C-alpha cells in the first residue's frame, strides 16, 4: 500500500490530465527539447537558444536576448509549467509509459510529436523518458530536456503550434464559450416568491448511517453501500453513483443533507472503478487496465442489482423495513456516475459510434474524459441497453457523455437535471454536457456553475486528495467550492421533491432567479430548461470552427507569418489556466491580436 500512496498523485495526473501532459511533452517540450541547445525554425527563419536560457526563465522569469522574439509565448503560465517538479515513483511511471507505447495510441502519439521535431525520432523520445526516470524521481520539462539524446534539437514551430492549437480542442471551445454562457443564460424573469424556509439548511430529522455489503455471485462482485436514513421516511429512494477512482464518500455531505429531510439515500461503491480498484492495479499499472471496459457494463448492473436487494431487505423484519422505496428512485451520478445514471434512465450505449470516434481522433486531440470513454470501445458489442424502470429521475453532475450514447439521449424521457462546470478540465462542457443536453426529450434542467471545476461538488474532506493536489488540471475545491455544495443541497432537494406531494412547495427552488441568488464570490450560477437560439448558434460555430486532430490530419500548406501568428495566439490561450471571465469574446481576440502582432512584425 505504501508505494501506491507515494505514486497515487502521479496515477491520477496520468489519467485525469493526460492531454495536458501530452501538451507539455508535445508542444512545450518542442521549444525546450534539446540536451544543450535548440534550433527554433519558423519557415525560412531559425534561431538558436540554449537550455540554460530556458532554465533561467523558469527560475527568474527573465528572457534572454534570444528568447525575447518569443515573449508572447513565454507567459507566467508557461513559466509555472517549466518550473514544476513532480515527485514520482519511477517504477510506476515506467510501467505506465511502457504499456502506453505498446499499443496503437502510443505509436500515433509519437508520430504526432515527431512532426514538430523533424530531426528526431520515436526511439529518441522513448530513450529520453527512460533516462529521465532512471536518473531522477523529479519529473520536469527542464530535466527531460537535459537527458534528451542529442546535442541540439530542431523544432518546427509552425508544426508545434499546429498541434498545440488542436490539442484538447473541446476544452478550448468551452473556454471561448464561457462569456456567452454567462450572458445568454442570465435570468430575465421577475423574482419568484420562495417558501418561508431555506432548503440548503439541514432538515429536522435525525440521521442514521449504516454500511451494508451485498454479494452478486453471478458477476463475482462484492458491492458496499452507505445508507443514510431517518426514523421517519418519506419520498423516493435516492441512489448515488461516484465517478472513476472515487468512492461512496464522495458526496457524503449531500447524502446526509437529503436524509435530514426524511429521504433514504444509498451511496454505492463500484468495485471495478473505485479508488480501491486503482490501488490494486498500481503495482503493475497498465494503461489498458486502469479503466476496464466491462465497467461500462457492470456499473449500471451494480445499481439494478442493489435496487433488487434493497427491495427484498425492505420487506424483512429489521430497522430498515420500509426504508427503501425501490419502485420510485432518483439517481445522482458524478462524472462516470453520470454516465451510469443516464444509461439506467434509458439511453442506449452506442459502441459502434464510439469506436468510430476513438479510431479517428488521435491521442493529442482527446480530453481526459475522451480517454476514459474510449476504454469502452474495446467492448464486443454494437450497442447495449440498461434501462431500469424503477429510475424516475436523474441528476447528472459533470457527466462523462461525449460519444458514449451517440444520438440515443433522446431515449431519456424522465426528468433530468445536469450540472456543468465552466472550468471543467476533465469533461469539457460542450461535448460532454451542453450538446447532450439538447438531445434529452423529457423535462430537463441545465445548471452551469461558472468558475467551478470537475471536483468542486465533492465533499470538503476530499480537498486534500490526490485529485485535489493535481497541479496540471486546476481544481476549485475546499472552502472555495462551498457555493457549489450549497447549490447542490438546495437544488437536489427541490428536484427530488418533485416526485412527492410537496412538489409545488419545492418548485420555486428550480427557478433561474433562485439558482442565480446562490452565486457567491467567483462562482456564479445559471439555470435553463432550453438552450437559447443565440447560444445554440455559438455551439454550432465552435464545433465547426475548432480543428480536430484526426487520423488523417491535414498538412500545413505553405508558409505564412500571419497564419503562424494565429496558431501561436490560439496555442498560447490553451496554456492559460482557466480564469473567471467577464469580458466579451470579441474583446478577447482584439486584445490578443494587439498584444502579439508586434513580435511578428519585427521578424518580418
Does residue 312 sit in the same domain as residue 236?
yes
> Is residue 121 situated within a structural domain?
yes
Assess whether pLDDT exceeds 90 at residue 161: no
Grid coordinates representing 564 are 503562424
Q: Is the model's pLDDT at 549 over the cut of 60? A: no
Q: How confident is the model at residue 287 (pLDDT cuts 50, 70, 90)?
A: low
Q: Which of 138, 167, 196 is the last residue of a domain?
A: 167
Count of CB atoms within 10 A of residue 197's CB?
A: 10
In this prediction, residue 553 carries a pLDDT of 40
- Confidence band of 552 (pLDDT split at 50, 70, 90): very low
Residue with cell 471561448: 176
My answer on whether 252 and 159 are in the same domain is no
Span of 204-218, 261-275, 459-473, 579-593 with lowest mean pLDDT: 579-593
pLDDT in tens, 494-513: 999 999 999 999 999 999 99
Give me Rg for the CA atoms of the chain.
Answer: 25
Same domain, 155 and 192: no
SS3 category, 328? coil
Rounded CA separation 508/504 (Å) = 8
Instruction: State the pLDDT at residue 353.
Output: 94
268 with 159, same domain?
no
Residue 61 shares a structural domain with residue 210: no
3-class DSSP state for residue 338? helix
pLDDT digit string (tens) for 368-391?
888 889 999 999 999 999 999 999
Of 503, 519, 542, the last residue of a domain is: 542
Separation in Å, CA 118 to CA 347, 419, 490: 46, 44, 56
Whole-Å CA distances, 269 to 226, 314, 453, 465: 8, 20, 23, 17
In a domain, 313, yes or no: yes
Residues 136 and 220 in one domain: no
pLDDT at 289: 64
Q: Which tops the pLDDT comparison, 153 or 377?
A: 377
Range of the domain at 431: 179-542
Predicted pLDDT of residue 536: 79
Claim to verify: residue 190 and residue 152 sit in the same structural domain: no
Query: What proportion of the chain, given as a percentage, has pLDDT over 70?
Result: 67
- Cα–Cα dist 429/536, whole Å: 13
Work out how many domains the chain is built from and give that number. 2
**With 70 as the cut, is the pLDDT of residue 410 above it?**
yes
- Cα–Cα distance measured from residue 50 to residue 37, given in angstroms and rounded to the nearest whole number: 4
Specify the CATH number for the domain of residue 471. 3.40.50.1820
Asked if the structure places residue 570 within a domain, the reply is: no
Confidence label for 580 from pLDDT (cuts 50, 70 and 90)? very low
145 and 246 assigned to the same domain: no
282's enclosing H/E stretch is helix 275-282
**Residue 599, domain member (yes or no):** no
In this prediction, residues 571-589 reach a mean pLDDT of 36
Within 8 A by CB and 6+ apart from 63, the residues are: 57, 70, 71, 74
CB 10 within 8 A of CB 158: no
d(CA 474, CA 571): 18
Q: Cell numbers at residue 120, please?
A: 528526431
The answer to whether residue 336 is domain-embedded is yes
Least confident of 18-27, 408-417, 595-604: 595-604
Between 312 and 470, residue with greater pLDDT: 312
Q: What is the DSSP letter of 25?
A: I
Is there a contact between 109 and 103 (Cβ–Cβ < 8 Å)?
no
- Quick check: is 390 in a domain? yes
Same domain flag for 140 and 242: no
φ/ψ (deg, to 5) at 475 = -125, 135
- Per-residue pLDDT band at 315 (split at 50, 70, 90): confident
Is residue 119 in some structural domain? yes
Strands (E), 51-125: 86-87
Q: Which pLDDT score, from 0 to 100, does residue 77 have?
A: 59
pLDDT number for residue 203: 95
Contact 21, 13 (CB under 8 A): yes
CA distance 251 to 253: 6
Q: Is the pLDDT of residue 567 over 50?
A: no
Please check whether residue 597 lies inside any domain of the structure. Answer: no
128, 223: one domain: no
513 and 377 fall within a common domain:
yes
| Last residue within a domain, chosen from 542, 557, 572 | 542
Pairwise pLDDT comparison (320 vs 152), residue with the higher score: 320
Q: How far is the C-alpha of 78 from the C-alpha of 61, rounded, in Å? A: 10
Burial 65-84 (b: 16+ CB within 10 A, else e): ebbebbebbbeeebbebbbb
Let me know whether 20 and 94 are in one domain.
yes
Amino acid at each position: 500500500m505504501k508505494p501506491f500512496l507515494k505514486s497515487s498523485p502521479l496515477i491520477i495526473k496520468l489519467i485525469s490530465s493526460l492531454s495536458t501532459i501530452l501538451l507539455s511533452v508535445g508542444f512545450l517540450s518542442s521549444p525546450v527539447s534539446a540536451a544543450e541547445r535548440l534550433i527554433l525554425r519558423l519557415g525560412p527563419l531559425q534561431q538558436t537558444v540554449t537550455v540554460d536560457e530556458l532554465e533561467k526563465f523558469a527560475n527568474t522569469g527573465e528572457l534572454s536576448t534570444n528568447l525575447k522574439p518569443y515573449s508572447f509565448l513565454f507567459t507566467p503560465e508557461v513559466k509555472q509549467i517549466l518550473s514544476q517538479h513532480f515527485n514520482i515513483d519511477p517504477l510506476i511511471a515506467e510501467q505506465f509509459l511502457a504499456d502506453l507505447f505498446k499499443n496503437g495510441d502510443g505509436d500515433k502519439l509519437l508520430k504526432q510529436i515527431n512532426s514538430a521535431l523533424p530531426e528526431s525520432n520515436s526511439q529518441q523520445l522513448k530513450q529520453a523518458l527512460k533516462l529521465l526516470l532512471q536518473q531522477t524521481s523529479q519529473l520536469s520539462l527542464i530535466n527531460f530536456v537535459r537527458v534528451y539524446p542529442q546535442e541540439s534539437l530542431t523544432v518546427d514551430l509552425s508544426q508545434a503550434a499546429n498541434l498545440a492549437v488542436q490539442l484538447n480542442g473541446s476544452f478550448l471551445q468551452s473556454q471561448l464559450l464561457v462569456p456567452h454562457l454567462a450572458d445568454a443564460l442570465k435570468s430575465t424573469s421577475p423574482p419568484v416568491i420562495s417558501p418561508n424556509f431555506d432548503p440548503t439548511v439541514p432538515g429536522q430529522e435525525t440521521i442514521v448511517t449504516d454500511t451494508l455489503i451485498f454479494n452478486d455471485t453471478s458477476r463475482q462482485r462484492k458491492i458496499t453501500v452507505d445508507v443514510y436514513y431517518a426514523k421517519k421516511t418519506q419520498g423516493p429512494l435516492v441512489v448515488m453513483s461516484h465517478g472513476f477512482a472515487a468512492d461512496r464518500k464522495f458526496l457524503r455531505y449531500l447524502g446526509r443533507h437529503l436524509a435530514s429531510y426524511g429521504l433514504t439515500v444509498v451511496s454505492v461503491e463500484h468495485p471495478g472503478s473505485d479508488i480501491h480498484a486503482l490501488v490494486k492495479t498500481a503495482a503493475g499499472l497498465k494503461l489498458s487496465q486502469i479503466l476496464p471496459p466491462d465497467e461500462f457494463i457492470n456499473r449500471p448492473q451494480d445499481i439494478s442489482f442493489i435496487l433488487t436487494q434493497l427491495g427484498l431487505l425492505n420487506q424483512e423484519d429489521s430497522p430498515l423495513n420500509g426504508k427503501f422505496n425501490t419502485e420510485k428512485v432518483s439517481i445522482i451520478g458524478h462524472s462516470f456516475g453520470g454516465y451510469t445514471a443516464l444509461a439506467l434512465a434509458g439511453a442506449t450505449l452506442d459502441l459502434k459510434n464510439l469506436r468510430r470516434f476513438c479510431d479517428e481522433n488521435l491521442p493529442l486531440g482527446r480530453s481526459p474524459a475522451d480517454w476514459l470513454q474510449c476504454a469502452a470501445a474495446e467492448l464486443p458489442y454494437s450497442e447495449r441497453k440498461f434501462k431500469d424502470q424503477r429510475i424516475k429521475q436523474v441528476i447528472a453532475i459533470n457527466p462523462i457523455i461525449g460519444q458514449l450514447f451517440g444520438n440515443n439521449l433522446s431515449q431519456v424521457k424522465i426528468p433530468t437535471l445536469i450540472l456543468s462546470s465552466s472550468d471543467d478540465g476533465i469533461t469539457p462542457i460542450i461535448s460532454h454536457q451542453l450538446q447532450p443536453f439538447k438531445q434529452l426529450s423529457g423535462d430537463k434542467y441545465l445548471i452551469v456553475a461558472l468558475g467551478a471545476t470537475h471536483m468542486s461538488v465533492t465533499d470538503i474532506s476530499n480537498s486534500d486528495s490526490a485529485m485535489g493536489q493535481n497541479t496540471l488540471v486546476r481544481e476549485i475545491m475546499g472552502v472555495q467550492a462551498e457555493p457549489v455544495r450549497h447549490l447542490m443541497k438546495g437544488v437536489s432537494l427541490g428536484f427530488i421533491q418533485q416526485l412527492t406531494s410537496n412538489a409545488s412547495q419545492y418548485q420555486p427552488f428550480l427557478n433561474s432567479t433562485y439558482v442565480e441568488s446562490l452565486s457567491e464570490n467567483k462562482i456564479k450560477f445559471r439555470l435553463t430548461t432550453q438552450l437559447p437560439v443565440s447560444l445554440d448558434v455559438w455551439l454550432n460555430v465552435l464545433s465547426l470552427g475548432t480543428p480536430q486532430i484526426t487520423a488523417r490530419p491535414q498538412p500545413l500548406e505553405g508558409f505564412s507569418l500571419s497564419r503562424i501568428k494565429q496558431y501561436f495566439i490560439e496555442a498560447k490561450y490553451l496554456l492559460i489556466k482557466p480564469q473567471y471571465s467577464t469580458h466579451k469574446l470579441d474583446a478577447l481576440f482584439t486584445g490578443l491580436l494587439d498584444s502579439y502582432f508586434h513580435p511578428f512584425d519585427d521578424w518580418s
